[in-house]
Amino acid sequence: MARLDRAALKGRAQTVLGLVDPASLGATLMHEHVICDITPRKYVAEPIEDREIDLCNCWQINYGQTFSGLKWKLNQPDVVTGELREMVAAGGRTVVELTSGGLKPDPKALVDISKASGAQLVMGCGHYVNDYQDPRNHQRKVDDFAAEMVAQVFEGAWGTEIRAGIIGEIGCQAPWTDLERRVMQGAIIAQQETGAAINVHPGRNEDQPQEVADFFLKQGAPMDRMVMSHIDRTIFDETRLLRLADTGCVIEFDLFGQENAYYVHSDIDMPNDATRLRLMRALIGRGHLDRIVISHDICYRTRLTRYGGHGYQHIFANVIPMMRRRGYSETEIDTIMVRTPKRLLTFV
């Protein structure tokens, strides 16, 4: 397959099935995983039992009472195809699949799943957090990472001819590692060369999103092409949130549907969906309507409907009606679900 160039991509969006008119993207979930393996590294070294997940243990697994190695493996094309069909039936059209290096991306499976489900899939590229990356990456330089991401957009990713339509999720831990900074700088260069948007996964520290945003500002990167993920589990006060949005980046609440207080990584005040909508309202009040996107970031089996979870349909079936009940206008909902994703996924 031929190598695309910037001119071929400009004004278009790129799904795993090829270039599309951005007007066809429709209602879009900006941060999900369809095929992914996020097994914590300690359990790769010492695997735990792959206990079947069912309705009787789903809650216990989510609260860390019981463990199953299967929780972290989204490796069932037939199951996710059915779940994506439910999303399409509920009004969703496009899913941004951000399984980056370290999380076992599988572009060919995404092509099959997109065809079978009717959901458009836009694939990410680049590398996830330090601890998940191939140890050989520690030897690699900024330009090497940049060239790899440019090729993933222009030629194909992970040994295939299937091309990425966005850069990310680019992982950061707290504290931010040297390797992760090099990958991020490579992503910014790749963005300059391709015109793609970048999705950032910040570390679990309430000041790290700002640290990364400041890094982008210092590099002169276009802030309106950068999406900061996982705000829900990272920032809990309006002061930090509004300061971050004032940099011009896009604020992503991407843990919709995850409402349990227990959070495996740390003891935080995990918001519920209503709290998320209230924080979004604060952003809108400050004039940031054009800088908000939402999603579920499904990366655990327990979040699929098959196992007792909410699935990819949750935002369409439950959250959007709640937005209407809570005074969100149709223009606001359309901006968050359609217009801003379309702007971000359109190559510039």
Q: For Zn ion, give the closer residue by CB, 96 or 292.
A: 96
CB of 61 to Zn ion, least distance (A): 19
User: In the numeric block, which tokens belong to residue 25?
Assistant: 């993207």
CB of 4 to Zn ion, least distance (A): 26
CB of 130 to Zn ion, least distance (A): 15
Beta carbons within 8 Å of 348's beta carbon, 6+ residues apart: 10, 195, 225
CB of 297 to Zn ion, least distance (A): 5
Beta carbons within 8 Å of 285's beta carbon, 6+ residues apart: none
Distances in whole angstroms, Cα of residue 139 to Cα of each of 134, 149, 176, 267? 10, 17, 17, 35
Beta carbons within 8 Å of 315's beta carbon, 6+ residues apart: 29, 92, 256, 257, 294, 295, 296, 337
Report which residue's Cβ sits closest to Zn ion: 297
Q: For Zn ion, give the closer residue by CB, 154 or 303.
A: 303
Q: For Zn ion, give the closer residue by CB, 98 or 150.
A: 98
| Angle at which helices 178-194 and 142-154 cross, to 10° | 40
Under DSSP, the state recorded for 307 is G
Site membership for Zn ion, residue 180 (CB under 5 A): no
Residue whose C-alpha is closest to residue 195's, from 348, 345, 18: 348
Q: For Zn ion, give the closer residue by CB, 57 or 257.
A: 257
Stretch that binds Zn ion, among 6-14, 147-155, 209-217, 289-297 (CB under 5 A): 289-297
Stretch that binds Zn ion, among 116-124, 153-161, 220-228, 291-299 (CB under 5 A): 291-299
CB of 169 to Zn ion, least distance (A): 5
Partners of 73 in beta bridges: 37
CB of 98 to Zn ion, least distance (A): 5
User: x/- string (CB under 5 A) for Zn ion, residues 89-108?
Assistant: ---------x----------
Among the residues of the chain, which ranges form H helices? 6-9, 41-45, 58-62, 77-90, 107-117, 142-154, 178-194, 208-219, 238-245, 273-285, 314, 320-325, 330-334, 340-345
Spell 159-177 as b/e; 16+ CB within 10 A means b: ebebbbbbbbbbbbbeebb
CB of 253 to Zn ion, least distance (A): 13
CB of 287 to Zn ion, least distance (A): 28
Cα–Cα distance, 278 to 342 (Å, whole number) = 24
Site membership for Zn ion, residue 297 (CB under 5 A): yes
Q: For Zn ion, give the closer residue by CB, 273 or 297.
A: 297
Under DSSP, the state recorded for 180 is H
Q: For Zn ion, give the closer residue by CB, 37 or 297.
A: 297
Stretch that binds Zn ion, among 116-124, 273-281, 286-294, 296-304 (CB under 5 A): 296-304
Q: Residue 43 corresponds to which amino acid?
A: Y
Q: For Zn ion, give the closer residue by CB, 57 or 99.
A: 99
Q: For Zn ion, give the closer residue by CB, 202 or 308.
A: 202
Site membership for Zn ion, residue 232 (CB under 5 A): no
Stretch that binds Zn ion, among 192-200, 203-211, 257-265, 295-303 (CB under 5 A): 295-303
Classify 21 as helix, strand or coil: coil
Positions 97 through 156 that interact with Zn ion (CB under 5 A): 98
How many residues contact Zn ion, by CB under 5 A? 2
Q: For Zn ion, give the closer residue by CB, 4 or 292.
A: 292
User: In the numeric block, which tokens belong to residue 63?
Assistant: 């609260």
CB of 105 to Zn ion, least distance (A): 12
Cα–Cα distance, 149 to 52 (Å, whole number) = 37
Residues that bind Zn ion (CB under 5 A): 98, 297
